[in-house]
Structure 1
Amino acid sequence: MEQTTDTYYRAWLTRDARFDGRVFAGVRTTGIYCRPVCPARMPRRENMTFFPTAAAAAEAGFRPCLRCRPEAAPDFAGWRGASPVVHRALALIEEGWLEEGDIDGLAGQVGVSGRQLRRLFREHLGATPVTVAQTRRVLLARQLIHETSLSMADVAMASGFGSVRRFNETFHQLFDRPPHDLRRQRSASAAIGSGIAIRLPYRPPYDWDAMLATLARTAIAGVERIADGEYARTVRIGDHAGWVRVGPGMGDRLALTVHFPDLGALPRIIGRVRRRFDLSADPVAIASQLGEDSLLAPMVAARPGLRVPGIWDGFEEAVRALTGNDSDLLAGIAETYGWPLDDVAVRAAGLSRTFPEPGDLAGMDTGNDRTVPGWIATPIAGLAAAVAGEPTLLAQHRDPAATRVRLRAIGGIDERLADGIVSRVLEGYDAIPLDRWCAPRGDPSVPLADLSRDWSPWRAYGFAHLLVDRYPTERSIVSSSEETSHVN
């Protein structure tokens, strides 16, 4: 522990950006917590306490620094491979579970007791689930105050506080001042009608061109569009629809613009964008582990910023899997069953409709549908009916084994398809592809599970590098959404 503390202290002395987001320091004399890159005067070592997360610092009673802005630190997901339960619970928190539910209900959703969930959160994040949720709200509110000129009432709604009173009370308690006093200058990102523009930090390097190339290959016309170095797509949450645009921003950040009528959905939309663009990845840690493999070492050295696109929505990803990610077929499904969007700005962005919800496809005529052949309409309609009746069936917090069994009970979904859906939707960055096209060139027959045993929990990144090596012109990066073949 002393050696770790020494390392962290040296990181503060040198303002080492490699530790940004990995550790935070609470300063006992001021009561604030900071990032390693904070420009403030270096505190005495005996006054510093180090924490693994911002939530852990908040749990210990420290408030976020106004100068280094902890909300601007890149996310750190070093715990991601260590605790599936914490991972699944965080996904629920990100979807707003604790806005209406309680800890025991959250714990029940991930299959543990409330006491056990608190213990796991303290072990891996240094804070309870309630503190984690509260810290996320506060840091998002701080970001919106700093980067936009939304009214304080809109900031309260957009950051998940639910009420202006709760928002004001929290900021008075933390900062001993009203939230509007934290806004130094008004940003150009003002009107809701023109979208909410914010910056999403990541840990460099980031191969943006490779990410766009992957998304372009699998884009659903009308729902997604890649043009001029940016990604745009439609969004539907509940009874509301809108769209987002994502592109490279200044520094180590992506620029996100959200056009959505329900401000309360902003945390969920940000969460989806972060997952889609793999912004929680730690390329240094991934490269360190994969670089120990003699097969991958030269590939990792050549492309250290390679990312694996995450899913946007579990149901959409499952339909992609069932169609073999056939872009033309998916575009036809969206055209026939998706919500049309007639907003001029949406159309100007090359978008026209949202991807269908489960209820839109559950009543599909599997025998006479002109858009979808019967052999594939049957499993799609069956899956849609199942998810419509059980909305959390493909949610990020679900247990993979139980979900696999549930999928097998749907007509037209065999073991291979169920494995492919679960692999992509629930296993993500540690998934093993089902197809052989990402096997190494020297030994294409080697079992992929045996090949990648030492790559866990970053196996998807290892296969991404193998794919680049094998198909340098056709595919510049793996898209795990292409891992499942067509229905037989």
Structure 2
Amino acid sequence: MELDFERCYRAVDSRDQRFDGWFYTAVRTTGIYCRPSCPAVTPKRENVTFHPSAAAAQRGGYRACRRCRPDAAPGSPEWDVRADVVGRAMRLIGDGVVDREGVPGLAGRLGYTERHLHRMLTAELGAGPLALARAQRAQTARILIETTDLGLAEIAFAAGFGSVRQFNDTIQEVYARSPSGLRERRSARHTEAGTISLRLAYRAPLHDAALLDFLGARTLPGVEERDGDTYRRGLNLPHGSGTVALTPADRFVSATLRLTDVRDLAPAVARCRRLFDLDADPVAVDGTLAADPALAARITTEPGVRVPRAVDGFEMAVRAIAGQQVTVSGARTTLSRLLAAAPPDRRPDTGPELRGFPTAEAVAALPDEAFRMPAARRATIRALAETVADGKLDLEPGADREEAVARLLELPGIGAWTAGYVAMRAIGDPDVLLPTDVAVQRGARALGLPHTPHALETHAERWRPWRSYALMRLWRSA
């Protein structure tokens, strides 16, 4: 990734929070790296270098600033936008694939050799997959040290380190403190056993009402619920299950996680960030959309509308199919009946009885009477479940977007609307438009926009590459 020195230095000089996560500032004289918005004194030009990732700064021998905590900055929005190999790799690393499967597993998922993948990531981010995963492990370990009463040895393996020695050395190198030193600095906390509380940073503005309204209208009893400003749901995670409660606040979303296995902290955090679209750049999105006079007034009054995404790609695809040609409430009723017939694979050990959505294998094994829907729609969901269970269709964040859409369209009963909806919410495509959607057309009409499919699609070319965000605004206007 090319970093322009002058532009980066201006962002640091003005402490511009919009650039947090885009790059990191390292100061030679102190040996520390920071966020661009760090409130410390602006360093002299000759003492500054800029790095595209925290891992690159750590590789250069710098330790994380204790004041601004750069390792906890929002992720770069570039990886949400980009659908190339580097973008897919970053999403998979964030989901903990390297910790679970190693670099060979990451390379195999992406279809490249380890050597070539290392070369691509180093060219873009200044660090290879192991260094990027190591930086994430260090942050996961810090969260566990400061927010739980787990023993340090247990934290070492929960965070993905291969040994206690490696854990100790990494924490000392990244934070210039031993693990026990980090624990001494934490404030007193009174939390239930198995509960981890943390803050998920985002770039302001965030229109939290739009997020909560959208998710709240679609909650599935037993899987998720909305209670005022808090959204809760069950999670299926690589090593077990869990629940999360998410409450938006100023500059961060408060997250309370209950996990059956603390090794799932990093993937759980990644999925929560993805669900609330917390790594987006709302200034860039709104700037492009506000250039259209028809959207400008809405963006002024409602800045920072995000695209609610998904914690489970298969779940989102089933929801999309169930929602074909029916109302939101009708789809929820159909899915609730499906859930009632599907026994949960796992349940959280603590907290409310919320569970993750049934797996593809579980849905494929259900009898016909569990599907209270037309036979054709039942056949589509069965075909989807079997294809995902067989590994022929990848709907997770590191999936190739074009390939996933092409495979979806091969399934009976899935057309452009369903494939586009899944691409937007499950795979994170920021540039989806659904011009045949009735609510979209109604919203376009309300805003004075062309509302026939062809005319709307032509007009929407000016919204690229953020048509998914424009789509959310059309739905709200409807």
State yes or no: 1:464 paired with 2:463.
Answer: no
In 2, Cα distance between equivalents of 1:163 and 1:152: 11
Letter in 2 for 1:203: R
In 2, Cα distance between equivalents of 1:233 and 1:391: 28
Matched residue, 1:400? 401
- Give the superposition deviation at 1:357: 0.9
Task: Write the deviation string for residues 270-310 of structure 1: whole angstroms up to 9, x where unpaired.
Answer: 11100001100111111222222333222222211211101
Q: TM-score, normalised by structure 2?
A: 0.87
- Give the superposition deviation at 1:93: 1.3
State yes or no: 1:334 paired with 2:339.
Answer: yes
Q: Tell me, what secondary structure is at the counterpart of 1:196?
A: strand
In 1, Cα distance between equivalents of 2:273 and 2:159: 16
Q: TM-score, normalised by structure 1?
A: 0.86
**Matching of residues 30-179 of structure 1 within 5 Å:** 30-103=30-103, 105-175=105-175, 177-179=177-179
Q: Does structure 1 retain, via aligned residues, the 8 Å contact 2:258–2:348?
A: no
Matched residue, 1:437? 439
Matched residue, 1:308? 307
Task: Write the deviation string for residues 205-230 of structure 1: whole angstroms up to 9, x where unpaired.
Answer: 11112211111111111110001310
Q: Tell me, what secondary structure is at the counterpart of 2:66?
A: coil
Task: Write the deviation string for residues 306-350 of structure 1: whole angstroms up to 9, x where unpaired.
Answer: 111011201100100110161111111112104188879634xxx
Q: Does structure 2 retain, via aligned residues, the 8 Å contact 1:149–1:188?
A: no
Q: Does structure 2 retain, via aligned residues, the 8 Å contact 1:196–1:259?
A: yes
Query: Which piece of structure 1 moves more, 379-388 or 288-297?
Result: 288-297
Q: Does structure 2 retain, via aligned residues, the 8 Å contact 1:335–1:353?
A: no
| Structure-2 change in CA distance of 1:66 and 1:163 (3 Å) | same
Q: Does structure 2 retain, via aligned residues, the 8 Å contact 1:73–1:201?
A: yes
| Structure-2 change in CA distance of 1:463 and 1:342 (3 Å) | closer
Gaps of at least 5 residues in structure 2 are none
Q: Does structure 2 retain, via aligned residues, the 8 Å contact 1:338–1:355?
A: no
Letter in 1 for 2:387: A
Q: State the Cα RMSD in Å.
A: 2.9
- Give the superposition deviation at 1:133: 1.4
Q: Tell me, what secondary structure is at the counterpart of 1:233?
A: strand
- Give the superposition deviation at 1:262: 0.6
Letter in 2 for 1:328: T
In 2, Cα distance between equivalents of 1:408 and 1:19: 38
| Structure-2 change in CA distance of 1:248 and 1:135 (3 Å) | same
| Structure-2 change in CA distance of 1:3 and 1:272 (3 Å) | closer
In 2, Cα distance between equivalents of 1:286 and 1:135: 28
**Matching of residues 180-199 of structure 1 within 5 Å:** 180-189=180-189, 193=193, 195-199=195-199
Letter in 2 for 1:463: L
- Give the superposition deviation at 1:380: 1.5
Q: Does structure 1 retain, via aligned residues, the 8 Å contact 2:56–2:127?
A: yes
**Matching of residues 198-209 of structure 1 within 5 Å:** 198-209=198-209
Q: Tell me, what secondary structure is at the counterpart of 2:85?
A: helix
| Structure-2 change in CA distance of 1:340 and 1:228 (3 Å) | farther
Q: Tell me, what secondary structure is at the counterpart of 1:295?
A: helix
Q: Does structure 2 retain, via aligned residues, the 8 Å contact 1:219–1:327?
A: yes
Q: Tell me, what secondary structure is at the counterpart of 1:236?
A: strand
In 1, Cα distance between equivalents of 2:95 and 2:22: 23
Letter in 2 for 1:94: G
**Matching of residues 246-325 of structure 1 within 5 Å:** 246-249=246-249, 251-324=250-323
Q: Does structure 1 retain, via aligned residues, the 8 Å contact 2:244–2:258?
A: yes
Q: Tell me, what secondary structure is at the counterpart of 2:242?
A: strand
- Give the superposition deviation at 1:104: 5.2
Number of residue equivalences: 465
Letter in 2 for 1:230: T
In 2, Cα distance between equivalents of 1:342 and 1:388: 21
| Structure-2 change in CA distance of 1:45 and 1:235 (3 Å) | same
**Matching of residues 15-30 of structure 1 within 5 Å:** 15-30=15-30
In 2, Cα distance between equivalents of 1:395 and 1:10: 37
Q: Find 1:452's aligned residue among 449, 452, 460.
A: 460
- Give the superposition deviation at 1:382: 2.0
| Structure-2 change in CA distance of 1:128 and 1:452 (3 Å) | farther
Task: Write the deviation string for residues 59-101 of structure 1: whole angstroms up to 9, x where unpaired.
Answer: 3232212222112322221353245322211222123222254
- Give the superposition deviation at 1:4: 4.2
Gaps of at least 5 residues in structure 1 are 472-488
Matched residue, 1:481? none
In 1, Cα distance between equivalents of 2:270 and 2:340: 26
Task: Write the deviation string for residues 172-191 of structure 1: whole angstroms up to 9, x where unpaired.
Answer: 34455421212343344465
Q: Does structure 1 retain, via aligned residues, the 8 Å contact 2:409–2:419?
A: yes
Matched residue, 1:244? 244
